[in-house]
Each structure stands twice: as structure tokens, then as C-alpha cells.
Structure 1
Amino acid sequence: MLRSKRNLKLQTKVIILVCGVCILCLLVTNYFIQKNVEETIVGNIEEKARNMSRTAALSPIFNSGLSGEISEDKIQQYAEELRKATNVAFIVVLDMEGIRKSHPLPEKIGQKYAGGDAGKVFEGEEHTSIAKGTLGMSLRYFTPVYNEEGEQIGAILVGFLLDEVQKKVNESRAVILGSMLLGMVVGLIGAILMAKKVKKILFGMEPDEISKLLEQRSAILDYAREGVLAVDRSSRITLLNQEGSRLVKNIGITNPMEKKAEDILPQIPFMSVMKTGDKELDQEYSLNGLDVVANILPIYVNQEIVGAVATFRDKTEIRQMTEQLTGVKAYAEALRSQTHEFMNKLHVILGMVQLEFYDQIPDYVKGITDRFQSEVGYITSRIKDPVLAGFILGKVSFSREKGAKLNFSEDSYLPKSQNKAMVQDLVTILGNLIDNSVDAVQGSQEKRIELEIKQTEDGLLAIRISDTGKGIEQDYIEKVFVKGFSTKGENRGIGLHLVQNVIKKLGGRLSIHSDVDNGTEICIDIPYEVQGE
């Protein structure tokens, strides 16, 4: 039985609760209304009896009859006419001895009043009484009668049977009960509508389902590797998961839930996103020395922006992961290019064997080995970071595959950087510049690319790359750094945009010189701190 109650649906619980409250309220209200109605009806009857009794006490006929000026038959006749006209149960006229001079039952006339509740009226005092008489239980009002000299000569008794009172109370009770039933029906309908509304607001889910969903949501947010921060329309922080709290704490902010995001994190454009509705994806922000990569999106409810949410992650972690991927990718590219070259050399050797040029094969193999050793040794002796060295070797092989020659300047020398994150930035810069140069020389008769990397005396890293390609028209030089702009077709125009962003972030500068049909030269100077200095 208890289990079935726990399994009741929310809609059923709401209906039962609302109906129960309505029924309880209606029952209590009905009780007090009934009591009030009864008291009101009794009060009205009592007032009517009092007014009628006082009026009758002033009647000349009753006064004259009790004084003996007219016959007592006139008293009975007038009392009955008055009773029927006013619709009271009885009008009894008593003399000072308590003898009835009128009564609805004629046989009671002349007999002594036996009610036992008329004592006060013969002392000159009006009063009300509820007692059982010859006609049954009744409400009575006693009024003394005085002659012209002011002497009491009798009393008037006007009464209403309580059966009539109860009849009127029952009539009013029926109306009240009808109203109560109508109220219950209205309450039931309201309960059903409210339950449906509540269910709609809760997306048709039961409380236990909502509880499980919240638990899952909390677990997902807390175990996510990205920080999640949500704000309402006024930029007040409404949600911050465990990782977000850790990152926010690392930049020296405590109790973030009590503050506005625009006050503690002014770098992140929550208000701008909510105003425009545009997403900010994969953007880098510096938060009090902590570099993060964040995605900021508006939150829509019923097609209206009600807030914004940001997911962000420490850029250092991303850099570490990227460096690992970059090293692996560079190594794989180098192996792929060398494998491709090696296969070509094997085809040459196979051809020499088939042509029986046996005496020339040793010299050919020795030449290949010497060139490979000299190329690898040449680059690794000048590029001290193994990730960058492997990356450039891969690009040399890649260029050779494309029919271009990538020359590495004899003046080039790159020591390891104090900043480990610099490796990824240099990979981004060199990778995009070399790829662009390789593409640029494809239509040229001479396919040559010159690369120079060295540290200057003022602590800058100077990168110079030139090619013998077709060059860039002057009208396009400024546009090539715009994201999405390219003369090579759709889904291009990203590389130089990334290069420019990285250089700006590092506080460097970039210049580009190009002549149509004579090639392009790009010069970059960026701050570079050598490891160990």
C-alpha cells in the first residue's frame, strides 16, 4: 500500500492535494456558514417575535379586553386574525393570574398557562424563551401589557415553532451544500488543469526522473575536463562546475557565485554574446595570467536569449597535448615523405639491375646515403628542439615531393625556447608559411623556397621565408590575413589568419613584400627567450 502511494504520478498527487485542500476548506466554510445562518435565522425570528409582541402589547383591543371594557371573545378573535396575518405560530394573551385569554387551540382558553417560563413577564420584564408547549418546541417572546395608568394588566406571548425554524435552516443548508458541491467540481477541474500545467512545465517528467536527471547533469558537469560557467541576463553567475571553480580559483577569484561575470571576468564577452546572439568559438583569453581557450554561446528559452554559457580550458593543457600530436604528426610526415622517396630510389636501383649497370649501383647508393645523412645532420645541428627539427625535415621531404626545393639557410640557428608553448606557435607559423610557399611555386619554372631562422642580438627570433612563386597583387596583400579570404578556392584562407593571430599574441611583427611574377618574402620578428638564459 505504501509502495503504491510512492509510485503515484505527480499529476495524480497534485489533483489529490488540490482537491483535498478544496474539500477541507469548503467543509470548514460550510460549518461556519451553517452556524452563522442558524444564528441569523433564529435572530431574525426572535426579532420578529419581539416586534410582534410589542406591537400586540400596545393594541387597544387587548388592552381593553384585559381591562374588562370589552368581552374576552374579542381578544381571541383579534389574536387569531393577527396571528394569521403575521404568519406566527401563536399569540397568547395572559392576564395577571396567568389565565389564557387567547390561544390557537380554543379549548386552552380559560386555562392557566403551564409553560413555567412566564415568571419574569409578570414582574414587568420582557424576555425570550425556548421551551416545549402544547404545540411543541417553540421560541417565545413575552411582553408585559400596561393600561393608561401604567399598571400592568397582563402579558402577550408571541411564538414560533422551532420546526419552522429548522425547516428554514435546512433550506439554507441545501443551498450551502449545493454551493459546496459546485465549488468541489470547480476545484477538481482547476486541480486537473493545474496538474497538466505543472507537468508541461516539468516537460512531462516525474520528480524521481527529474532527480535522476539532475544527478546525472551534476555528475557530467563535475567530471568534465572543461570548465563550464553560465550567467543569466544580468551577467550574474548561475552555474559553475568543479573544473570551472578550480580554474577561477587559480586566477585568485573566491566566491564567484556571489559576483557578476562582467566584474570578475571582463575579458570574456558574455554581454556582447547575449546582445548579438552570435557565438564566440575557440577564442583565446588571458585571465589574470591564465590563458584559456573558450567557447561562448547564448542560451535560448522559447526563442529568447536568457543568458550565456562558456566552456573553457587551460591553454597550457591544450598546448601540451598539441605538442605531443604535433611531434607525432611531424614524425609521421617525415617518415611518409622519406618512404615515398625511398620507393623512388628503389625503383631506380631496380631499373639499373634490370639494365645490368651493376658497377654504377654502389656509387648511386652511396650518394643517396651521403645526402640523407648530410641533410638530417645539417638541420638537427641548427634546430635544437627535436619537435621542430623533425617538423622541418618532414617539410623538406614534403616540398621535394611537390617538386619544390626547400633550402635551409646556413646562417640559421634555433636554440631551445624557455617557453615550452613556443614550439606549437612556431609549428603553426612555419607550417602555414611553408605550405603557402609550396603552393605558390607550383606554376613557376623555378620552384625554390628559402628559409632562414635565427636569433638577433636584441633577443628577437627572426624568420625569413621567400619563394619564387607568382607573387601577390598589391590589392590582395592586406586581404590575405582575413579569415576565409583566398584566391585558391572555397574552404581556404585560414593559414595566414592563424599566423597573424599567433604573432599578435606573442607581441611580434610581420611584414610582407611581394612582386607579381617575382615571388614573395615574409619577414617575422617575435620575442624569443632561450632556455637556460
Structure 2
Amino acid sequence: MKKHKIKLRLQTTITLFVSGVIIFCLLVTNYLTKQYIEETTLARIEEKARNISRTVALSPIVIDGLSGKRDEEAIQTYTEKIRKATDVLFIVVLDMNGMRKSHPNPNKIGKRFVGGDEDPVYSGEEYKSTAKGTLGMSFRYFTPVMNEKGQQVGAVAVGIRLDDVKNQVNQGNRIIFISMFLGIMIGLIGAVLLAKKVKNIMFGMEPDEIARLLEQRSAMLEYAREGVIAVDKDGNITLVNQEANRLFKTMGIEEYIDRKIVDLIPTIHLQAVMDKGQKVIDQEYSLNGLMIVANIVPIFVNQEIVGAVATFRDKTDIKLMAEQLTGVRAYAEALRSQTHEFMNKLHVILGMVHLELYDQLVEFVKSVTNTFHSEVGFVTNRFKDPVIAGFLLGKVSYAREKGARLVFSENCFMPKPKDQDIIQEIITILGNLMDNSLDAVIGSKEKKVEVEIIPVCNKKLSITVSDTGPGMSTDIKERVFEKGFSTKGQDRGLGLHLVKQSVEKLHGQIIISSELGRGTKFTVTLPYEEKE
């Protein structure tokens, strides 16, 4: 079973990340500070014990008392005063035999020192130690006592209770933990506020949503048929899509990003739009002889204009596409041809009535009726979609008007489609192929265009349009679907390009067979599902 990764929201991710960093930093800081406080506290206690021990060892009272020049009881009185003033556990003065001459408990005076760590001091060494004595575990500092001749006459031991040392360290740690807790709380609050701020800046969107939106925006801009140019508030170009890039290349401009729009296209007044904050809709501009239709709108962020966007389209393309893609031109041509042909026949009938040629009139009407029923009956019986049938009948009249014959193969048959949207694309394909063929046979001896539309296997429809025109060379066949390419003059070359687009849109294929002097045949195969 495939495991799905849990995606955290941006706000949650930022909160966890910032909180994690803060907690990690505070833990590291706490550890280092704790180590420092412990070392500092121990160093301070050691210094305190050392200073007291040295002070007592240098006292004349202690030196004389140990040398026998003064009553030993003076040592007890002196050391007790210092002990109480400095708040240490004990100050013990020892003679050279390890006997106590002072002690917080007078009953211990005259007895041997307890702890087993006093031997090095009798070698004249000053040092620190930790041991258990009659007053419990303590931190001790030993200092030898020397007389004026430099001879050792005893030693001083100053003790500080280890519990006091631990209490001082714990008190420092307690302050650190409180500070760390407050720091974490402040950090969490700051992380949440920061995450909310970032979320608001990003319009409440998640990173994957922003990435997807950016991809869609890029695709929309690059594949849009309209050119798009965006500028910042200073009028510098910041974005150009593929179609706009084509426009710049047409104008001979290669570098345009970060350049001022007024320097490149003076006629497009984007700066004026930003100054006034008003839109410009469907405004025509001339750029190096190219007529475009542009829409310019200012960009607002927090009620402030930060730039502008111009979208534009070639006016010629708009006009041609409006005529070709909507099908209006095809339908209008069909109706015009039928109307023209019908009016001609009415004129004939009217003339024969005036001449009182009634017998000939009857034959003429029968002939027209037979022809009409023959054509209409064939088309309506073989082409089940009424739009296609009406369109083809119009093309028959249009061909006859041009002095050509539009012939349908006896095998023609086209059922109603399952998807009605395909009809418009088929009209585009048929209309442009037949128009192209009718134009091709105008100068030919035999002006004939043959059409065959039949369903083939695997749910496909085959459309074949052949003519008796002059044919095409290999070079023309390779370029015949290019937009704007035509052998009939300027402002042409769009019909077969539209055919190719419609075929590609329907995922079909098109094949050209042509020989010079023997005509041309277009064969189109399209996916086509019949309506049940």
C-alpha cells in the first residue's frame, strides 16, 4: 500500500521550524551557561576558602599560638570570629602532629583531624580537597603555617559544606531554567506571529498552491494568443510572453527586460495609465505598420498602483479569425449563393410567363424541381446532421455560381455525431478544403471538385476532397499549411492553416496527394463516434 506523505501547512512548518531553532539555541545556551555557572561558583568558593585559609595562616595569633609564644585558646577565639564572619563550615588549625587547635565544636579541640586528606599539607603544599569529616562532606582548602624563620609550625584547613556549593549551583540553574522557559514562550509567540505574517503576505496560500499557480500562470502567459507586457511603477518592462516577444523581434528589438517601455514603444502610454489609474480598452495602435488592438490596465496592490499590464492582438488576425472560426462567413456564403441562384431562376420563370411560353415553363420548373430534389434528397439522406447537410447544399450552389461542379461520391454517408461540438470543426475542415479546391479549378478546363465523406473502421471518419486543378509542386506541398503562405496573393494563406489546426485539435491526420497538371487530393481521417 502506497504511503502518503503528510504535508504540513506553511504556518505550521514555520512555527515548528522557528520554535525548534529557538529551543535548540536555548538548550545549547543553557548547557553552556550552566557549565559556566558551575565552574564560576566552584572557582569563587575555592577562592573564598583559599583567601580565608591564607589569612588565618598568616595571622600572628595563629603563628605564635602554634610556636608556644601565646596561649593556644587565642587561636580558637580568633578563628571562630573569622568563621562566623565569613559563614564557612569550619576553620581548623592543626599542629604538626595533626591535632586540632581550633574547631566549631570546642569538644573536638585537642583531637586528631578527621578526613585523611591532610598529609600533603605537612610537606608544605597548599591544595584543595573534598572529604568527609565530623561535620559531614565538605570542600576543604589546606594552607601550611610558617613562622618567621620559614619553618612550618602547623596548618590551616578551611571547610565549606558541599550542600551549600550545590545550593548555589542549583540557584544559578534555576534562574537559567526560568529564563529559558520565558525565552521559549516568547519564541513560540514570535514564531506564530511570524508565520501568520508570512501567510498573510502570501495571500493565505500554501507553497504547493503558489507553485501550481505559478506554473499555471506561466503556461497561460506563454501559450496565450495575446501578447502580454507588464511594467513596474517606473515604467520598466518586467514580463514579456512569447507572443509579445515575437512582436519585439518583428520590430528588431532583442533586449527589452528592465528597459523603459516608452523607449521601445512610445505610442503605448502605459505610464499615463499608471498616473491616472484608468483602463484603456480595445485601443488601436500602429507599431511599425502593424495594427494592434490593445487593452491596458493598472495593477493595484493595497490600493496603490505598482505597475501596469498591456495585452494586445494583431488586428488582422482578429478580423480573419472572427470570420473563419465562428463559421459566420461559411453560413453567409452558403445563404448568399442559394439566394442568388434562386433569384436567377425566378427571373427565368418571370420571363417565360411574360412570353407566354407555358409549355417550356412547365418543363423548366420540372427540371429545376428534379435537380433540387435530387441534390437535396441525396444530401439529406446521406448526411444525417442538419447543419452539415445545409452547409453542403450551400456549397453546391456556391460552386455552381462559380461555374464549377461540386460532386458527392455515391458512397458518401455521415451519421449524427455523439459529440455535437465536432460539427463546427468539420465545417471548418470541409469549408476550407472545398473553397481551396474550387479556387484551384477556376482556370482549369474541367472545373470539378469531388467530395467523399464516409465512416471507416475503428470509429473514424474519412473526408476526401479532390480537384482537377493544376496540382502542387513538392515545395508548395511542404509549406501549404503554414500560416500566411499562399500562391493566390497577399492577405491569404489562412484557410489550410485552420484546417491543420482543426485536424490536430481532433487528433486526426491529413494527407496530400498532388501532381502538377493532374490535380490535388486532400484526405483527412478523424476520430468520430456515431450517436446511438
- Which amino acid counterpart does residue 269 of structure 2 have in structure 1? P
User: In structure 2, how many angstroms separate the alpha carbons of the residues matched to 1:227 and 1:86?
Assistant: 89
Separation in 2 of the partners of 1:181 and 1:326? 72
Judge which range, 297-306 or 321-330, deviates more. Answer: 321-330
Task: Give the partner amino acid of 1:292.
Answer: I
Letter in 2 for 1:101: K
CA distance in 1, matches of 2:100, 2:301: 87
Q: By how many angstroms is 1:4 displaced?
A: 7.0
Q: 1:215 Cα shift?
A: 2.3
Aligned pairs for 1:31-70 (under 5 A) are 31-70=31-70
Is the 1:142–1:158 Cα contact (8 Å) retained in structure 2? yes
Structure 2 counterpart of 1:186, which letter?
Answer: I
- Which residue of the partner structure matches residue 159 of structure 2? 159
Structure 2 CA distance, aligned partners of 1:178 and 1:5?
A: 38
Per-residue Cα deviation, 1:130-176 (whole angstroms, up to 9, x for no partner): 44444444332233333345544322221212221111111221221
| Cα distance change of structure 1 residues 75 and 261 upon mapping to structure 2, 3 Å threshold | same
Aligned in 2, Cα 1:124/1:300: closer, same or farther, shift over 3 Å?
Answer: same
> Could you tell me how far apart the structure 2 residues matched to 1:2 and 1:28 are?
39
Does the aligned pair in 1 maintain the 2:91–2:102 contact within 8 Å?
yes
Structure 2 counterpart of 1:140: 140
Matches within 5 A, 1:184-199: 184-199=184-199
Change (3 A) 1:21 1:2: farther
> Cα distance, 1:298 vs. partner?
1.0
Q: 1:179 to 1:327 in 2, by over 3 A?
A: closer
Question: What is the Cα deviation at residue 290 of structure 1?
Answer: 4.2
Match of 1:213 in 2: 213
Aligned partner of 1:7 in structure 2 is 7
Which piece of structure 1 moves more, 218-227 or 149-158?
149-158
Please state whether the residue corresponding to 2:257 is helix, strand or coil.
helix
**Count of residue pairs the alignment pairs up:** 359
Unpaired runs of 5+ residues, structure 1, are: 347-351, 353-357, 363-416, 422-533
In the aligned structure 1, how far is the partner of 2:148 from the partner of 2:262? 98
- Note the alpha carbon deviations across 1:209-236, whole angstroms, 9 max, x for none: 2222222222222221101121222333
Is the Cα contact below 8 Å between 1:90 and 1:159 reproduced in 2? yes
CA contact (8 A) 2:140 2:157 kept: yes
Query: How far apart are residue 318 of structure 1 and its match?
Result: 2.7
DSSP-derived class of the 2:17 partner:
helix
Per-residue deviation, 1:324? 6.1
Number of the residue aligned with 2:314: 314
Partner of 2:26: 26
- The SS at the match of 1:282 is strand
CA distance in 2: counterparts of 1:12 and 1:2, whole angstroms: 25
Q: Identify which range, 204-213 or 301-310, moves more after superposition.
A: 204-213
Q: Counterparts of 1:104 and 1:289 in 2: how far apart (Å)?
A: 112
Q: What is the CA–CA distance in structure 1 between the aligned matches of 2:130 and 2:160, rounded to whole Å?
A: 10
CA contact (8 A) 1:251 1:289 kept: no
The answer for the alignment partner of 1:177 in structure 2 is 177
Q: Which amino acid aligns with 1:184?
A: I
Partner of 1:261: 261
1:117 deviates by 4.5
Distance 1:234 1:8 in 2: 39
What is the Cα deviation at residue 360 of structure 1? 11
1:240 aligns with 2:235: no
User: Using a 3 Å threshold, how does the CA distance of structure 1 residues 35 and 262 change in structure 2: closer, same or farther?
Assistant: farther
CA drift of 1:43 comes to 1.7
Inter-partner Cα distance in structure 2 for 1:120 and 1:268? 99
Q: Distance in 2 between matches of 1:224 and 1:333?
A: 31
Identity of aligned residues (%): 61
Using the alignment, how far apart are the partners of 2:70 and 2:37 within structure 1?
44
Partners of 2:126 and 2:320 in 1: how far apart? 107
Question: 2-side partners of 1:135 and 1:5: how far apart?
Answer: 64
Task: Spell out, residue by residue over 1:64-93, the C-alpha distance to the aligned partner (whole angstroms, 9 max, x if none).
Answer: 211212332332233233212311011111
Distance 1:175 1:361, change over 3 A: farther
> Whole-Å Cα distance in 2 between the matches of residues 204 and 313 of structure 1?
34
What SS does the corresponding residue of 1:169 show, helix, strand or coil?
helix
> What do residues 351-370 of structure 1 show as CA deviations (whole Å, max 9, x unaligned)?
x9xxxxx97999xxxxxxxx
Q: 1:188 and 1:307, CA in 2 relative to 1: closer, same or farther beyond 3 A?
A: same
* Post-superposition offset of 1:307: 0.9
CA 1:235 to 1:91, structure 2 compared with 1: closer, same or farther past 3 Å? same
**CA RMSD for the aligned pairs?**
4.1
For the pair 1:129 / 2:134, whether they are aligned, the reply is: no
Q: TM-score, normalised by structure 2?
A: 0.58
- Preserved contact between residue 231 and residue 307 of structure 2 (Cα < 8 Å): yes
CA contact under 8 A between 2:273 and 2:297: conserved in structure 1? yes
Once structures 1 and 2 are overlaid, which stretch shifts more, 123-132 or 297-306? 123-132
Give yes or no for contact 1:251–1:290 (8 Å, CA) kept in 2: no
